[in-house]
Structure 1
Amino acid sequence: MDSAYAPQHPGSRVPVGLRAPFSGRTWRETLYLLLNLPMSLVMFTYTMVVVSLGAGLLVTFLGIPVLAAGLAGARGLGSLERARARALLGLDVADPGPVRAAKPGPMGWVGAVLKSGESWRHVVYCLVHFPWALFTFVFSVAFWSVGWVLLAYPLWRWTFPEYLDRPGIVMWDDGSGHSSFLDTPAEIGFTGGIGLLMVLAGPWVIRGLTQVDRIMVQGLLGPSSLATRVVELESDRGVVVDTAAADLRRIERDLHDGAQARLVSLAMDLGLAREKLAEDPQAAAKMVDEAHGEVKIALQELRDLARGIHPAILTDRGLGPALSALAARCTVPVSVSVEPMPRPAAAIEGIAYFTVSELLQNVSKHAMAGSATLDVWRTEDRLMVLVADDGRGGAHTGAGTGLAGLAERLESVDGLLVVDSPAGGPTRITAELPWRG
């Protein structure tokens, strides 16, 4: 089991609250809010024009293709917004799926665009984002400007008596010559303190505003949850197919290299024994006796192979006894605790069994552990399996490891594999499977 750890670098001595106003992230997010207004103005104007034009022309045949072209343009503007969010907010939103026409030809494409919910969500984004963009532009400019101006007030207050014949900023003026100014040292310091608080709070205010933009971009410009789920299912189906093909190859290899080769050798030995039966009965009897031993070995190999496909004890007695038998064969002492519960679906039982089998093999081969524990229980609609050991740790689900393949198998049935294995141990690996009775 390999483990990789990034080197630890000492952090800056400047507190994060003081560094935040000058960080690259703060100014990228501020730039995003400043660009909101011109971008949203373009998108809002475009959408209003094409939607109004298309709706007005619906009384004629031209309205439908005009509206479809407008929706396609909105999708193009959405791609620019995703690129802007990716560059300035670090938000990577996948592109929605392409428009797929049920029928070939221009009219098929027009119909597909008009029926596409993703296209209409782009239109909604172009419309609803404009008022938010106007607000964030004005607010961010005003907040940053006031904050920095007040913070620097002690440095530029001299301009009031020098050029405006006033001692400082006017707090109030009743029009009859009675005025109040920020001109005493305490008032000047207080004003600078207010500015400092605004500047220090600015990054968190900006992040709060951009969080709304993140939600809008993800919710309206990304692929729909249904499309995302379809992609996940297609990927999971590919994993299942690959896993089944790998299992078939393993079974074929085990049969070819094990039981099949032994049975071929057995057939040859029996043939030789038959030839020697008349001339040397004792030698023939010895060869038959050896063949009998070979038959027993071949039967044991076939039983082991059948157990690897689906153990009989799992079918007959359920998950608890099957896991206990599995733990008994582990080279490390394993304490087993299986909560009494109804039997899940056979497929879920099989996946849980082989998950535990692979995890215990890892404990035997790699963990260098003195003991291990196996706990199985049910939580609402999930079957939980926990394998822990006191070994050296360092297990991970990186590419190319057995745990990575195991995680993919679990994901194919909406399961989850969580690995907690710091260097030096202990290791705790939790498998979560859907409960299907």
Structure 2
Amino acid sequence: MSADLHPAESAGTSSTAGSAVAPRPPKRTAYGKETWKEIVFLLSNLVTSLVGFVYAVVSVVLGVGLSITVVGLPLLALGLGGARLIGRSERGRARALLGVEVAEPSRLPKPGGFFGWLWTSLKDPVAWRTQLYGLIRLPWGIVTFTVALVSLIVLWPVLPFLSRGLANADRGMVRGLLSPSDELERRIAELESDRGVVVDTAAADLRRIERDLHDGAQARLVALAMGLGLAKEKLLDDPETAAAMVDEAHGEVKLALQELRDLARGIHPAVLTDRGLSAALSSVSARCTVPVKVTVDLTERPAEAIEGIAYFTVSELLQNVSKHSRARSASVDVWRTEDRLLLQVRDDGTGGARLDGGTGLAGLAERLGAVDGLLVLDSPEGGPTTITAELPWRSRPSG
């Protein structure tokens, strides 16, 4: 059994990445361009903070005050939407003049209907933090404008130090109130993107099933119905011919049943439902063109959805072994590590596999990512190839 993957190793991160020393910021002169950018920022604080304060007060007070009417909450939601635009402007100003790199928050999801939009807008944390930013900035904007202006006239020798200190406080406010909600906000953006992959994959699978039914079993059953109709007409006049046609129809029935079984196996194999991953993976490995050793080390079965994804992931990887690896043998290992289900397919082939190599690995990695999974490829030229997939572990409901 292969060793458990550490999360950093799973992500393909070098083990020394965490200990890297951050580069020191470049040295700056007292009256260099960085100082003058900070001064421009501090002087512009008065106007921007005044606009932000007035907007926050008017939009919140108006929306809350009219909330007893039908227009109050929609006005508040529109005001929060406008606050997002103010936040974007402030991040751009800080980025240009203070060098603060703050990622843009993800867009709000698009719920269906008016009430969905209303509820999503009213509970938007990004917009509320921007409104708070606007409320607390007015006193600070007055202070920074006054100090910067007076320093330009009277306190010239200490101007660089004052501007640096005040600008650092502004940097802290921007990072604290105008930045996304760290990992949660970024994860929401990733999941919104991954949702499109899931929808596209599901649509492609439905088109494949429809095509297989239309071109395979359906066409065969139509021909079978026509053949039985002709046999019925000849039953009295030419019983020998009718018997031959019935015999031929019997063969067509067997073929149609086999095609339907193959199609059902492609949707969700019965052996997986009845006996679990170990039996299902042993079945699929028997169809591989090279001998495959299957080891499943699980004390319980995962949720049906996770089990199905694991099965089709290994199935696709073994198809790649058959088509591309030129291997003499392969192995499949399945085990659980804490809240992750790990699948590892290894072959002794020629190696050189890549995610963009036309073997479908890129699409598989996208589909795994859409369910918070991960695909790690290790395939040097000359082999061997080891592909490890991680999936979130969810237990099967009891009962």
| Normalised TM-score (structure 1) | 0.61
Give the C-alpha shift of residue 251 in structure 1. 0.4
* Aligned length in residues: 319
* Aligned positions of 1:175-214 closer than 5 A: none
- 2:129 corresponds in structure 1 to 117
Counterparts of 2:332 and 2:172, CA distance in 1: 41
- 1:76 corresponds in structure 2 to 89
Superposed CA deviations along residues 83-106 of structure 1, whole A, max 9, x for unmatched, are 689xx99x7x64335799x99xxx
The one of 180, 186, 204 equivalent to 1:223 is 180
Counterparts of 1:304 and 1:99, CA distance in 2: 42
Change (3 A) 1:62 1:252: closer
Task: Structure 2: give runs of 5+ residues left out of the alignment.
Answer: 1-22, 63-79, 116-120, 145-159, 162-170
Give the C-alpha shift of residue 355 in structure 1. 0.4
- Once the two structures are overlaid, the 10-residue window that deviates more, 295-304 or 217-226, is 217-226
The one of 34, 37, 40 equivalent to 2:35 is 37
Give the letter for the 1:223 counterpart.
Answer: P
Structure index of larger Rg: 1
Secondary structure in 2 aligned to 1:392?
coil
Counterparts of 1:340 and 1:227, CA distance in 2: 34
Task: Structure 1: give runs of 5+ residues left out of the alignment.
Answer: 1-25, 104-108, 131-136, 139-213
The one of 98, 104, 110 equivalent to 1:95 is 104
Counterparts of 2:124 and 2:270, CA distance in 1: 52
Give the C-alpha shift of residue 417 in structure 1. 0.9
- 2:302 corresponds in structure 1 to 344
Counterparts of 2:203 and 2:51, CA distance in 1: 55
Change (3 A) 1:349 1:98: closer
Counterparts of 1:31 and 1:46, CA distance in 2: 22
The one of 372, 381, 388 equivalent to 1:414 is 372
Give the letter for the 1:117 counterpart.
Answer: R
Give the C-alpha shift of residue 415 in structure 1. 0.7
Counterparts of 1:300 and 1:114, CA distance in 2: 56
* Aligned positions of 1:258-407 closer than 5 A: 258-398=216-356, 402-407=360-365
Give the C-alpha shift of residue 219 in structure 1. 7.0
| Normalised TM-score (structure 2) | 0.66
Counterparts of 2:265 and 2:83, CA distance in 1: 61
Change (3 A) 1:98 1:274: closer
Give the C-alpha shift of residue 30 in structure 1. 5.0
Counterparts of 2:255 and 2:305, CA distance in 1: 30
- 1:209 corresponds in structure 2 to none
> Share of identical aligned residues, percent?
58
Change (3 A) 1:63 1:30: farther
Counterparts of 2:88 and 2:47, CA distance in 1: 15
Contact 2:83 2:127 in 1 (8 A): no
Secondary structure in 2 aligned to 1:41?
helix
Counterparts of 2:59 and 2:204, CA distance in 1: 56
Counterparts of 1:333 and 1:62, CA distance in 2: 69
Secondary structure in 2 aligned to 1:335?
strand
Give the letter for the 1:335 counterpart.
Answer: K
Contact 1:413 1:433 in 2 (8 A): yes
Give the C-alpha shift of residue 273 in structure 1. 1.6
Give the C-alpha shift of residue 280 in structure 1. 2.1
Change (3 A) 1:366 1:281: same
Change (3 A) 1:315 1:46: same
Give the C-alpha shift of residue 231 in structure 1. 2.2
Superposed CA deviations along residues 186-242 of structure 1, whole A, max 9, x for unmatched, are xxxxxxxxxxxxxxxxxxxxxxxxxxxx99987765433344333222222222211
Counterparts of 1:32 and 1:394, CA distance in 2: 52
Superposed CA deviations along residues 361-404 of structure 1, whole A, max 9, x for unmatched, are 01101111111110000000000000111112222223865111
Secondary structure in 2 aligned to 1:274?
helix
Secondary structure in 2 aligned to 1:261?
helix
Counterparts of 1:341 and 1:219, CA distance in 2: 45
Superposed CA deviations along residues 234-259 of structure 1, whole A, max 9, x for unmatched, are 22222221111111101011111111
Contact 1:53 1:63 in 2 (8 A): no
Give the C-alpha shift of residue 421 in structure 1. 1.4
Change (3 A) 1:63 1:380: closer
Counterparts of 2:357 and 2:174, CA distance in 1: 31
Give the letter for the 2:260 counterpart.
Answer: L
Counterparts of 2:320 and 2:173, CA distance in 1: 45
The one of 193, 197, 212 equivalent to 1:235 is 193
Contact 2:320 2:359 in 1 (8 A): no
Change (3 A) 1:415 1:119: farther
